[in-house]
Chain A
Amino acid sequence: MEAMSENKMVPSDYSTGPMEKAAKPLPFKDPNFVHSGHGGAVAGKKNRTWKNLKQILASERALPWQLNDPNYFSIDAPPSFKPAKKYSDVSGLLANYTDPQSKLRFSTIEEFSYIRRLPSDVVTGYLALRKATSIVP
């Protein structure tokens, strides 16, 4: 609680108006408020962090939803059924060819010579952009 009320006192520092001076809690707040979500279900010193979205959704899944109830994870868009078009990594034009050495896509001869001269971190960067980096060499 002491940490929380300190937190509340500090934000008033940056107000330039004559009313709020330092170390004065904001008048419209309850100074004794504690977030119950802070720490999650396990009170005490263990869990000091807020749940992130993944954790919230995981616990929401466990609730008794009916089949047709709308909730945050059921409205995710489905994966695409159409085959993706291939675009060149370098210029964005339609790519008909792929470099077998680096797996980058290209559309013209100049792009190919450009790709062959790229340092390896740029190559990995382009592949990561497409999420095409593979662990298996």
Chain B
Amino acid sequence: MAAASAAGPVGNVFPFRDARAAPDPVLEASPEAHGPLPVPLVLDNGSFQARAGWACPGPDPGPEPRLQFRAVCARGRGGARGGAGPQVGNALGSLEPLRWMLRSPFDRNVPVNLELQELLLDYSFQHLGVSSQGCVDHPIVLTEAVCNPLYSRQMMSELLFECYGIPKVAYGIDSLFSFYHNKPKNLISSGLIISSGYQCTHILPILDGRLDAKNCKRINLGGSQAAGYLQRLLQLKYPGHLAAITLSRMEEILHEHSYVAEDYVAELQKWRCPDYYENNVHKMQLPFSNKILGSTLSSEEKQERRQQQLRRLQELNARRREEKLQLDQERLDRLLCVQELLEDGQMDQFHKALIELNMDSPEELQSYIQKLSSAVEQAKQKILQAEVTLEVDVVDSKPETPDLEQLELTLEDVESINDFEPLFSEETPEVEKPVATVQPVFNLAAYHQLFVGTERIRAPEIIFQPSLIGEEQAGVAETLQYILDRYPKDVQDMLVQNVFLTGGNMMYPGVKGRVEKELLEMRPFQSSFKVQLASNPVLDAWYGARDWALDHLDDDEVWITRKEYEEKGGEYLKEHCASNIYVPIRLPKQASRFSDAQAPGKGSGASGGGAGEHA
């Protein structure tokens, strides 16, 4: 049903693709990978996607990274079953059924759970066709976060060297690799990189080819926050479709239907106009589902539902009446017994019984008996009546039923208002309060459509205005100004000549124009600036890392070898044109859980300075 309605520009109705990832094949490593020297493996370890491949020297290095998969893993469905272990990335197929079981090694943009990271690395190595025994015998280029915490680098180095036995590793920043890829000739260059990823957005000034780390800034908003914002907006607008508005579909809307407005306020003014709205709203067609709340039931079905409720209430009442009747009957019998005592002349027992019953005189007893017997008679009558006819006045006596109906009606009202966008449609919705006789005029396809109007610009806007989502941090423009103000004027001019945009979250149409406009606002009158978007913002980091690896294969000053790892600890880093700045602080070596059992294996790593305490 979804694709049957007019897809494309006519009526702006779009179906959801709901793509499933195909599982990756286990690739055979190509012959170049086993060249004379071990070929480096390039791994762009991102919080959204991990991309892995070989860096083959030769005339035509391979096109794309061999593997691109979501950096998540989850156990198979149905809890921890004995057989299937955790599945990774593309082997999971569609992510939505497993949404609550997905686990990622990342916390923001730093890998913290290295067991899951180990799974991801296992998956990458296995599917790339690593076949060396006992260790992974290839140098590895790995990306890390900007100003990666020392602890995290220590853990990562430990994983790579001790578990996989790699010969040497080089850490770098993905945006810097992307910069390297887009400007290969100008090795000594300066610029300002704005890199927006899945979890955060970085603004990195580069001076003379090296990162000026103390002036970097990071805004903790990225693609995942935009997707979450869009999801909550749509869920609040369409509470009836809560389950159908999934994060995967939100990502699809962001990737294909959203854009960044060059002038946000002016763009909003355009959206106020109903014609513009009609022409530019994107109606996402949800697949048909049977689970619809009240509003599409026909009036007969509604009546039947009401009658069912009435019947249920009547049964309840009848049961209650019978119980009460029984109790009354018993009490009546007891009182009659007491009265018989009086008639039989057993005064003492009679008086005792009266006191028990809390009555003063036989007359009171008499009147009570009379009242009770008349009540019993009435109850019997009512029961007979109820069994014969349908008592509608039950509704009146039970106050809950009318409220229930009214509540249903208000829910239906809200939904119909939601669907027909009262803000912009001219005609009032035809679904009035469904009185039993009026058949509501209803468009089933329209009920299953999500109207994405201003949300198209609101969701990507959060990196420019974090106040939309309640974040106190400054947006990209203000942070850019803050960073520029920390430099002298000539350096500012130099930096602004080379503004480079990269990262998956920068792929919205209109981002370049927006950044240019912001720069125009903040730079002095008639000064020049130049903004450039990466050629492939998503994959350029991997390409850059591969180019860098091929250029620096023989350069020993950039690779951290196993020996250096053991001497200087896991947090050691060698700086190069695309790396973090290394601050030589020694971390105490973390003790393993089975430190005494593993002493020979770990002892070599614990040499060197530092506190050296084993907790």
Residue of A nearest to B166 (CB): A28
Interface residues of B in 589-615 (CB under 8 A from A): 589-595, 597-598, 601-602, 615
> Which of A66, A75, A93, A113 has the most chain B CB atoms closer than 10 A to its own CB?
A75
Q: How many residues of B contact A (CB 8 A)?
A: 106
Contact B125 A28 (CB under 8 A): yes
Asked whether B32 is an interface residue with its Cβ less than 8 Å from the other chain, the reply is no
In whole angstroms, how far apart are the Cα atoms of A80 and B86 in the complex? 42
Contact A65 B467 (CB under 8 A): no
Q: Within the complex, what minimum Cβ distance (angstroms) separates B192 from chain A?
A: 14
- Known contacts: A50-B112, A80-B474. The answer to whether A70 contacts B594 by CB under 8 A is no
Contact B114 A78 (CB under 8 A): no
In the complex, per-residue mask of B129-169: 1 if CB is within 8 Å of any chain A CB, else 0: 01111111000000001111111100100110011110000
Contact A34 B482 (CB under 8 A): no
In whole angstroms, how far apart are the Cα atoms of A60 and B413 in the complex? 54
In whole angstroms, how far apart are the Cα atoms of A90 and B131 in the complex? 56
Residue of A nearest to B232 (CB): A129
Contact A93 B271 (CB under 8 A): yes
In whole angstroms, how far apart are the Cα atoms of A112 and B26 in the complex? 58
Pick the contact of B216 from A11, A75, A79 — CB < 8 Å?
A: A75
Q: How many residues of A contact B (CB 8 A)?
A: 79
In whole angstroms, how far apart are the Cα atoms of A52 and B104 in the complex? 12
Contact B601 A14 (CB under 8 A): no
Asked whether A21 is an interface residue with its Cβ less than 8 Å from the other chain, the reply is no
Q: Within the complex, what minimum Cβ distance (angstroms) separates B344 from chain A?
A: 67
Contact B86 A110 (CB under 8 A): no
In the complex, per-residue mask of B448-483: 1 if CB is within 8 Å of any chain A CB, else 0: 000001110110000001111111111100110010
A93: chain B residues at CB < 8 Å are 268, 271-272, 454
In whole angstroms, how far apart are the Cα atoms of A13 and B126 in the complex? 12
In whole angstroms, how far apart are the Cα atoms of A27 and B384 in the complex? 83
B564: chain A residues at CB < 8 Å are none
Asked whether A126 is an interface residue with its Cβ less than 8 Å from the other chain, the reply is yes
> Which of A29, A60, A84 has the most chain B CB atoms closer than 10 A to its own CB?
A29
In the complex, per-residue mask of A73-97: 1 if CB is within 8 Å of any chain B CB, else 0: 0111111111011010011111000
Contact A118 B469 (CB under 8 A): no
- Known contacts: A53-B110, A125-B232. The answer to whether A14 contacts B146 by CB under 8 A is no
Chief secondary structure at chain A's binding surface = loop
Stretch at the interface among B217-225, B350-358, B375-383: B217-225
Contact A13 B84 (CB under 8 A): yes
In whole angstroms, how far apart are the Cα atoms of A44 and B614 in the complex? 13
Asked whether B561 is an interface residue with its Cβ less than 8 Å from the other chain, the reply is no
Contact A13 B163 (CB under 8 A): no
Contact A87 B615 (CB under 8 A): no
In the complex, per-residue mask of A90-134: 1 if CB is within 8 Å of any chain B CB, else 0: 111110000000000000101101100111001001100111100
- Known contacts: A63-B150, A65-B583, A84-B467. The answer to whether A122 contacts B272 by CB under 8 A is no
Interface residues of A (CB under 8 A from B): 1, 7-8, 10-17, 20, 26-30, 32-44, 50-53, 56-57, 59-60, 63-66, 68-72, 74-82, 84-85, 87, 90-94, 108, 110-111, 113-114, 117-119, 122, 125-126, 129-132
Can you give 19 A-B contacts (C-beta < 8 A)? A11-B122, A11-B123, A17-B26, A26-B122, A28-B136, A35-B114, A41-B590, A50-B113, A57-B149, A72-B145, A75-B218, A77-B218, A79-B473, A92-B457, A93-B271, A110-B423, A118-B414, A119-B411, A131-B470
The list of the 10 closest CB pairs from A to B, nearest first, reads: A131-B470, A10-B85, A84-B467, A70-B213, A92-B454, A41-B615, A80-B474, A53-B107, A36-B592, A33-B163
